[in-house]
Amino acid sequence: VQLQASGGGLVQPGGSLRLSCTASGFTLDTYAIGWFRQAPGKEREWVSCLSSSDGNIYYADSVKGRFTGTRENGKNTVYLQMNSLKPEDTAVYYCAAYIAYSECLDGPLDAGHFGLWGQGTQVTVSS
């Protein structure tokens, strides 16, 4: 029972990537899902949270207007579309289930309130 992030890669500044978060062993649509990232030498940083049913999606100020989260419950998958990428977006990206509440709250959110972490996916933004 875990979540798995995928879709990372190397992209030039200004480019785009779409990350996927797929659940195995449970139904993802019953959970609010958070995206986090961790750059080398830095703490894990909250990026976005997608509610399970109230339709709310929240973003960190650093990615607001550039990143968009969507859910595709039929595929048991959540996506993070990342546009206008910057070198400072370089990090390992993770998704996790919000176990503290059934719906998202506006951030920044504490990684300690999330569970079912899987392996992250590396995003590198560089020319």
Residue 76 CB neighbours (<10 A): 16
**pLDDT tens digits along 84-95:** 999 999 999 999
Q: Residue 113: which pLDDT band, with cuts at 50, 70 and 90?
A: very high
**pLDDT tens digits along 64-77:** 999 999 998 888 99
Q: How many CA atoms lie within 13 A of 21 on its CB side?
A: 32
* CA trace torsion 80, 82, 86, 91 (10° rounding): 20
